[in-house]
Every structure is written in C-alpha cells, then in structure tokens.
C-alpha cells in the first residue's frame, strides 16, 4: 500500500497547541503517512499563503486534515491570518471537489457557550473527528488513521440473498423475528426483564406454530413429501429456538423459565391431536407436527446435557405435563414420553423403498443435524439414550404411559467410547452431578439399572436387524466413580 499524503492545516494559537500539532504529525508519519506540515515543508523565503493554497489544491495530496481549536475557528470565520486564507481555499474546494472526503476536521476545543466543539462555519454539518476528550485520544486517533487510509471500522456488508419466506408465499413464517431479537438483546444485557421476554417469545412461537399444519390427506398422494417439505421449512425456526435456549442456559436463566418451557411443550403438543372435522384414515396428517415437537424435545434435552444443566433435565424428565383439553382423568396429565411418536408417513415411505433404512426417522434426524449450530448427532444420541434410560427406570412398568423408543441410538451401535456425560462421570464429583438426572442416590443405582437392562435385554433393548447399542460401554458402567 502506498503512503498517502496528508496536508495539515492549523493555527499557531500558542506553543502548547503547536507542539500538539507536531506530535500528531509525528505519530501519523510513524504510521506510514506522508505528512505535509509547514514546520517541515515551508522553507525560508517561501510565500506562506501560496504554500497553503498549493497544498490544498495539489491533486497529489489525498487528504487535508484541519486541526481546529478556538483560534482556528475564529480566523477561518473572519478570513484572517493563515487559517483565514486556507479557509477561503478550503471553503471553495469543499463545494467544488467531487471527492468531499478529502477534507476532515479534527476538533480539539469545546465552545463553552454551545457545549459543542469549535468548527469552521464553512464545514457545516459534516462529520468530524472529536478529540476534545483526552481519554478517548487513542480511539479517535485510530479513527483518523482509518479515514486517511480509507479503511473505516464499520463496513456495510454485501447484499445477501432475499429470504425464502419473502420469495415464496408458500413458505411458512412464525413471525417471531422481532421478539427473538429483543429476547437475545435483553439476555445479553443482563436485564431483569429477560425471563419475561423469553416467556413472550415461547408463547408467540407456540401460538403461531399452527401455520405449519398440513392440509387433509388425500387418497393417492404421497403425503411423505409434504411432511418432509414442512419439517425442512421449520429448520430456521428450530435454530432460532435453540439460539434462545442456548442464551438462557449460558446466562443462568433456566431456573427462571423452566416452567415456561413445560408450558411451551404443552401448547405445541395440541397440534399433534386429531383436528375436528378432518378424517385421519392413515394417521399421517399431523406427522410433521409430531416430528417437530419430538425434535424440539430431544434438542432441548441434548442442549441442557451439553451445557450441564442437569437439574433442568431432571425437571423435564420427571415433570408432569397438563392437557387442558382432556375429557378424562387418565388424559389430564402425561410425561415426556408422549412426545415420541410413531410416524406412519415415514413407515409407509420406508416400505416403498427397494432398500429400506433400518430407521428412516433416525436417518432424517442425522441429516438435519448437519445444519444445527449448537448440536451434532453425538449430542442427539446421548439425549435419546438418557431419555430411554429414564423411561426404563421410571416408566417401564407403567402400562398407562407412552414408551420412549431411542430411534437415534442406531447411530451409536458401532461407537467405541462412552457418551460424554458418562465418560466424565469416571470422576466422583461429576458422577454426583449427573445423579440428579435419574433421581439416584449412589453409584449402585446405575449398576442396578444396567443389571435390569441385561436381565430384560431381549424385551427392552432396541435392535435394528443385527445392530444393537453396547449399553455397558455407553454407560461406562465399569468406570463410573473410579476417580476423584
């Protein structure tokens, strides 16, 4: 990069100001800038006015830096002295030059009457560099350097592509963008209103989720494609929702809003019910909504485990969800297992394949994790495993409860290491922290659970053809609590 040439215009107000100008000029030179200054470049016998006019008009001078104090401002406005001569030249040049960015004022003195820096009248309302606060000198000097090199701190980004939901009226929108930005801002600022903003966001999200409901199934159509298109359209909102949850966990707000997440899941669960006036001969028409709530629940548990919010995981897995539309006592409450659905549209699609997947649902989840910012498939498998273990421990003998089937453990069948939380639980201290997830008191509780699984292996351990997960390895059962 070539060294830019800069001419400095100033008033000889007093020795202190002259020294300040000299110091600035020296700093500029040390930063690779060729400064033209009368003290350096005006020789004995040369005409000062001609020198100034030549410097301002010289096309080789890329920038003109006006060091303005009270004296310079007064001389410029009265057209007196050297500064007055420059003012006449600069004034004309500012309005005649096509590149007005050649001139800038560095203001160094405050007008006590107006409370604003002294500026030449001709400079008008143009942006200036404010050096009136000595404590901000370093920041303002960088601003000056950037102006000289045409390297501003803030650069307008290139135009991106128009969002899909603008290009197509068929794309679904939850209308949560503004609320999402507000809640993120309040959380990052540590505002006391942040929990209320999270509550508002979750309420708007759940209320507007109805826009993703699919129309009634028509005989002869491939409903699977509609389900897949719908859940793919949902991905940006899944990421938005996870971004809020990540901020909640990172800022210690989960304890304040965990009940709001319970109510959120209660609200979105309503979209999986059979709608009045719609026939469900193939039990497919709510499959996209069932997948969405299942994905959100699994991602919720996965992110809380990843952020080590074990109390929150326990609260959700042990929690009671309320069905406000129930007509019987048995249907009034339910647990997290109800969010694990059998998706008929995926079942029928997989049957049509010449080479069916072991689990099409797990394959879809695997593909979707490629676009997830905060989670990967290992996190999902771990969450699925924990949900399944909790089901085995607390709900397996309850005939009235739903079952949690760990579809995604298919992708953990060939791993050769424990899941992270159980690997870390080799430490006694970490083991103490994860016990709350399962409502356990001692290490022996984990061993008893594993023994029960082994005893009932054929009836409770998932299997895909010859593939099944190594429960002993995934639980790290032989090494739990073996280190301090």
Please determine, for residue 104, whether its predicted confidence score (pLDDT) is greater than 80.
yes
pLDDT of residue 75: 78
CA 450, CA 448: separation in Å to the nearest integer? 5
Q: Which residue has the higher pLDDT, 90 or 474?
A: 474
Per-residue CA distances from 185 to 285, 303, 341, 393 (Å) = 38, 21, 35, 40
Please determine, for residue 216, whether its predicted confidence score (pLDDT) is greater than 90.
no
Range with the largest mean pLDDT of 1-15, 148-162, 396-410: 1-15
pLDDT of residue 96: 53
pLDDT digits (tens, 9 = 90+) for 157-208: 777 766 554 554 556 788 899 999 999 999 999 999 999 999 999 999 999 9
CA 389, CA 398: separation in Å to the nearest integer? 15
pLDDT digits (tens, 9 = 90+) for 252-278: 999 999 999 999 999 999 998 866 555
pLDDT digits (tens, 9 = 90+) for 287-321: 999 999 999 999 999 999 999 999 999 999 999 99
Q: What is the mean pLDDT of residues 112-130?
A: 86
Three-state DSSP at 110 gives strand
Domain locations along the chain: 5-149, 164-405, 413-484
pLDDT of residue 208: 95
Please determine, for residue 89, whether its predicted confidence score (pLDDT) is greater than 60.
no
CA 275, CA 280: separation in Å to the nearest integer? 9
> Where residue 386 falls among pLDDT bands split at 50, 70, 90?
very high
pLDDT digits (tens, 9 = 90+) for 356-383: 999 999 999 999 999 999 999 999 999 9
Q: What residues contact 164, with CB distance under 8 A and at least 6 apart?
A: 171
H-only helix segments in 175-286 = 177-188, 194-208, 223-250, 254-269
pLDDT of residue 276: 56
The pair of structure tokens assigned to 13 is 């107000």
Q: What is the mean pLDDT of residues 230-255?
A: 96
pLDDT of residue 42: 82
Q: What is the mean pLDDT of residues 231-257?
A: 96
Fold classification of 5-149 (topology level)? Rossmann fold (3.40.50)
**Burial label, 239 (beta-carbon count in 10 A; 0-12, 13-18, 19+):** middle
Q: Which residue has the higher pLDDT, 152 or 160?
A: 152
**Which letter does DSSP use for residue 464 in this model?**
B
The pLDDT > 90 percentage for the chain reads 61
Q: What is the mean pLDDT of residues 64-93?
A: 67
CA 77, CA 66: separation in Å to the nearest integer? 14
Range of weakest confidence among 96-105, 257-266, 321-330: 96-105
pTM: 0.66
pLDDT of residue 152: 85
Please determine, for residue 82, whether its predicted confidence score (pLDDT) is greater than 90.
no
Please determine, for residue 455, whether its predicted confidence score (pLDDT) is greater than 80.
yes
Backbone angles phi, psi at 65, to 5 degrees: -100, 120
Please determine, for residue 35, whether its predicted confidence score (pLDDT) is greater than 50.
yes
pLDDT of residue 50: 72
Range with the largest mean pLDDT of 132-136, 166-170, 416-420: 416-420
Please determine, for residue 79, whether its predicted confidence score (pLDDT) is greater than 70.
no
Q: Which residue has the higher pLDDT, 239 or 331?
A: 239
């Amino acid at each position: 990069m070539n060294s830019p040439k800069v001419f400095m215009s100033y008033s000889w107000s007093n020795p202190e100001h002259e020294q300040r100008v000299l110091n600035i000029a020296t700093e500029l030179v040390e930063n690779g800038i060729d400064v033209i200054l009368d003290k350096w470049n005006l020789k004995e016998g040369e005409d000062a006015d001609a020198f100034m006019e030549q410097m301002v008009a010289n096309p080789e001078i890329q920038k003109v830096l006006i060091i303005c104090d009270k004296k310079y401002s007064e001389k410029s406005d009265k057209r007196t002295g050297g500064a007055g001569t420059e003012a006449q030249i600069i004034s004309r040049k500012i309005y005649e030059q096509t590149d007005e960015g050649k001139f800038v004022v560095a203001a160094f003195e405050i007008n006590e009457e107006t409370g604003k820096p002294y500026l030449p009248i001709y400079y008008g309302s143009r942006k200036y560099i404010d050096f009136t606060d000595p404590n901000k000198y370093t920041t303002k000097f960088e601003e000056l350097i950037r102006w000289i090199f045409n390297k501003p701190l803030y650069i307008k980004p290139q135009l991106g592509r128009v969002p899909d939901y603008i290009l197509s009226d068929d794309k679904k929108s939850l209308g949560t963008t503004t609320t999402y930005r507000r809640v993120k801002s309040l959380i990052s600022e540590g505002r006391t209103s942040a929990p209320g903003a999270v509550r508002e966001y979750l309420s708007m999200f759940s209320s507007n989720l109805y826009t993703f409901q699919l129309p009634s199934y028509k005989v002869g159509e491939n409903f699977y494609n509609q389900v897949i298109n719908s859940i793919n359209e949902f991905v940006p909102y899944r990421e938005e929702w996870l971004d809020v949850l990540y901020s909640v966990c990172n800022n210690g707000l989960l304890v304040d809003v965990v009940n709001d997440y319970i109510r959120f899941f209660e609200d979105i669960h309503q979209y999986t019910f059979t709608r009045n006036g719609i026939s469900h001969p193939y039990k497919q028409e709510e499959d996209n909504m069932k997948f969405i709530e299942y994905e959100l629940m699994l991602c919720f548990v996965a992110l809380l485990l990843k952020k080590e919010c074990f109390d929150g995981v326990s609260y959700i897995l042990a929690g009671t969800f309320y069905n406000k539309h129930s007509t019987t006592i048995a249907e009034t409450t339910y647990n997290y297992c109800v969010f694990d659905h059998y998706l008929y549209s995926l079942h029928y699609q997989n049957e049509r394949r010449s080479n069916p997947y072991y689990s099409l649902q797990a394959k879809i989840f695997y593909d979707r994790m490629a676009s997830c910012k905060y989670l990967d498939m290992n996190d999902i498998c771990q969450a699925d495993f924990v949900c399944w273990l909790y089901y085995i421990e607390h709900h397996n003998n309850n005939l009235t409860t739903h079952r949690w089937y760990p579809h995604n453990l298919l992708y953990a069948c060939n791993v050769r290491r424990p899941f992270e939380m159980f690997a870390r639980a080799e430490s006694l201290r970490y083991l103490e922290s994860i016990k709350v997830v399962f409502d356990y008191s001692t290490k022996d509780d984990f061993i008893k659970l594993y023994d029960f699984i082994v005893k009932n292996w054929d009836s409770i351990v998932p299997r895909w053809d010859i593939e099944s997960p190594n429960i002993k390895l995934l639980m790290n059962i032989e090494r739990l609590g073996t280190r301090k």
